[in-house]
Chain A
Amino acid sequence: MNIIEIKDLVKIYDSTEIEVTAVNHINLNFEKGEFSAVVGPSGSGKTTFLNLLGGLDRPTAGHIMIDGIDLWSLKPRQITDFRLHNIGFVFQSYNLLPVLTAKENVEFIMDLQGWPKAEREKRAKELLEAVGLGDRIHSRPGKLSGGQQQRVAVARALASKPKFILADEPTANLDSHSTENLLDIMEKLNREEGITFIFSTHDARVVKKAHRVITLEDGKVLSDEKK
């Protein structure tokens, strides 16, 4: 069952003197429970593609249907709300809120969703334990290593019970040990809880673990291979 349907997606940047087509007529579908990697050289349009998919950037043309809803037919407020309830994000630079502890960072998104305090505290602890940070719940991001911060970011992305998680080069700033650790956690969550992950990556280790690899070049889908 398709969770995401992308139809003729185009993104053209014309802010500079030269018009750049970052995403060029992409048609793709993603099923629930996929563990997919979007790969390609720098400038191939991976990040732009993920931004469009996450409702962070408006496409020049085309449609993104998520569970039958045309994402970009929604008003800006509704798109933000849609992201809150349907999409989880993991960023390359972790992007945790530095003034909040690991637990508070995970709770934050549930707070936005209006969860009762006791329930969100319980879930935040469970998620942090699931990513192996049960003993660091009161640490602020500045006191955590890069790998630990990225695991908090994964816990945060999972907290809102999203339909899928978009991870933009999640291992780019991690050492090999942290990368292996993070990938194991995400693969386990995908396998055991059926969570859909879509990565953009350069990292061969991520590609190796992915069940589907979509290669982009000059904004176009060069290949789409399922393992």
Chain B
Amino acid sequence: MNITVIAWRNIWRNKRRTLITTASIFFGVIFAAVMSSMQEGSYSKMIDNVVKFYSGYLQIQLEDYWENKTINNTFVLTDTLLQKVHQSKEITGISPRLESFALASSDQLTKGAVIIGIDPERENKITNPEKWIIRGRYIHHGDQGVIMGNELAGYLHLDVGDTLVLLGMGYHGVNAAGKYPITGIFKNPLPQFNKTFVYMDLPLAQGLYSAPNRITSLVLMVKDHYHMPPARKALKSFIRTPYRLMSWDEMQPELVQMIASDRMGGKIMKAILYIIIAFGILGTVIMMFSERKRELGVMVSIGMQKTLLAGILFMETFYIGLLGVATGILATIPITTWFYHHPIRIAGEAAKAFLDMGVEPVFAFSLMPSVFYNQALTVFILIIIITIYPVVKTFRLDISNALRT
């Protein structure tokens, strides 16, 4: 008679108690898994916002550029560097950029703007600004016009076909000034883009800032954030002075911190939940041991080793945990899958708060395997801790006393 069969039958001796204990694990796993899915999904969305709307996963810059973002900290993109980057199999997109600031003006009004010179085709493969166009058209290679955010255009009372005047400081202090027809107006999900960003063809921007062939950054894309560490490792092997490799998390430390603190909050909530569940399981285990003390004494007295008996008691708790976790995860999968495909869109003031943080107002969900197996792992760790009680009690079992109970 296999001990697993005895353990399985034992847990059904008190069906109601087993079902109640299993149900507590079941609901705990659902709550924790759905919460984890929403947290991880939202973090992924935030990272996606940052990476896919603007920074890319990695950037190659001059060493001093990140601390001192001036047009003087630019570099000429060499074929050698480009070839080496291309050799990294993790890299799925490359886009050179020249970024700087300028005063953007119309007839009467002026506002500070971020000017980004891009290779329109390559940039489309990374941040895809073409899809944000709401009026006019996207820029193409050789275009002399610009596209700008709808809020900036609205502030300056400009629209497609009007002229935007830019005034700033170019490479090595020369004046940067120019007039550019507006070919398109875009609306990005993140409002700060719409309030400040102006895109133009890279050679046009290099002309504006008198920085021919120079760029501020080479933006690199990988498939997803799991592919970033190997890509970073591969690139770091040849990125040396005067260049520096920056990853999205280095460029966005506030976001990393926010995610870390939010994740910790979630962990504390889940810890409280699991502690409550653990005490529920412990209560069941204590009852299962106490009410069968005599029976356990009989099993040892007829010749069963205490180690084997402890194995039965462990299996009983393991089965209860397994039932709770398996049913909990099975119930969670359709819920999280539904919300993965239909994320919760936030409206009103809450949405505004999200947008102010630079985050799309969406509760996205994740289907990462870790969302599910972490719950199973947590319950099984709890079970191992909880079974210490019956195992210790079994080894301390006084047979003659047990037979008298």
Chain A to chain B: the 4 pairs with minimum beta-carbon distance, closest first: A84-B303, A99-B9, A57-B400, A95-B298
* Known A56-B400, A95-B295, A100-B1: A112·B10 in contact at CB below 8 Å: no
Closest residue of chain B to A104 (Cβ to Cβ) is B1
User: Which single member of B9, B10, B13, B305 contacts A81 (CB below 8 Å)?
Assistant: B305
A199 within 8 A of B: no
* Known A89-B301, A97-B6, A98-B13: A56·B1 in contact at CB below 8 Å: no
> Bound state CA distance, A104 and B160, in angstroms?
87
Q: Is the CB of A91 within 8 A of B298?
A: yes
Q: Which residues between 299 and 357 of chain B lie within 8 Å of chain A, taking CB atoms? A: 299-306, 308
> Bound state CA distance, A85 and B304, in angstroms?
11
B388 within 8 A of A: no
Per-residue CB proximity of B275-308 to A under 8 Å, as 1/0? Answer: 0000000000000000000110011111111101
Q: Is the CB of A56 within 8 A of B403?
A: yes
Per-residue CB proximity of B1-32 to A under 8 Å, as 1/0? Answer: 10000100110010000000000000000000
Per-residue CB proximity of A108-149 to B under 8 Å, as 1/0? Answer: 110111000000000000000000000000000000000000
B362 within 8 A of A: no
* Known A89-B302, A99-B9, A112-B303: A51·B295 in contact at CB below 8 Å: no
What are 24 pairs between A and B in contact, CB < 8 Å? A51-B399, A51-B403, A54-B301, A56-B403, A57-B399, A57-B400, A80-B300, A80-B306, A81-B303, A83-B302, A84-B304, A89-B298, A89-B302, A93-B294, A95-B294, A95-B295, A97-B6, A97-B295, A100-B6, A108-B302, A111-B1, A112-B302, A112-B308, A160-B303
Q: Is the CB of A99 within 8 A of B10?
A: yes
**B302 cross-chain contacts in A, Cβ below 8 A:** 83-84, 89, 108-109, 112, 156
Instruction: For residue A141, give the distance in angstroms from its CB to the closest CB of chain B.
Output: 11
B13, B298, B301 pick with most chain A CB within 10 angstroms? B301
B294, B298, B299 pick with most chain A CB within 10 angstroms? B298
Instruction: For residue B17, give the distance in angstroms from its CB to the closest CB of chain A.
Output: 15
> Bound state CA distance, A57 and B399, in angstroms?
7
Instruction: For residue B268, give the distance in angstroms from its CB to the closest CB of chain A.
Output: 41
**B295 cross-chain contacts in A, Cβ below 8 A:** 95, 97-98
> Bound state CA distance, A192 and B295, in angstroms?
32
A107 within 8 A of B: yes
Q: Is the CB of B1 within 8 A of A107?
A: yes
Instruction: For residue A66, give the distance in angstroms from its CB to the closest CB of chain B.
Output: 14
A227 within 8 A of B: no
Instruction: For residue A95, give the distance in angstroms from its CB to the closest CB of chain B.
Output: 4
> Bound state CA distance, A37 and B92, in angstroms?
89
**B300 cross-chain contacts in A, Cβ below 8 A:** 80
A77 within 8 A of B: yes
**B403 cross-chain contacts in A, Cβ below 8 A:** 51, 56, 91, 95
> Bound state CA distance, A156 and B301, in angstroms?
13
**A77 cross-chain contacts in B, Cβ below 8 A:** 305
> Bound state CA distance, A97 and B303, in angstroms?
14
**A89 cross-chain contacts in B, Cβ below 8 A:** 298, 301-302
* Given A51-B400, A98-B295, 20 additional A-B pairs, CB 8 A: A56-B301, A57-B399, A57-B400, A77-B305, A80-B304, A80-B306, A84-B304, A85-B303, A89-B302, A91-B298, A95-B298, A99-B9, A104-B1, A107-B1, A109-B302, A111-B1, A112-B303, A112-B308, A113-B303, A156-B302
> Bound state CA distance, A120 and B300, in angstroms?
20
> Bound state CA distance, A91 and B308, in angstroms?
22
> Bound state CA distance, A57 and B13, in angstroms?
30
**B306 cross-chain contacts in A, Cβ below 8 A:** 80
> Bound state CA distance, A89 and B6, in angstroms?
21
B13, B295, B302, B308 pick with most chain A CB within 10 angstroms? B302
> Bound state CA distance, A62 and B302, in angstroms?
23
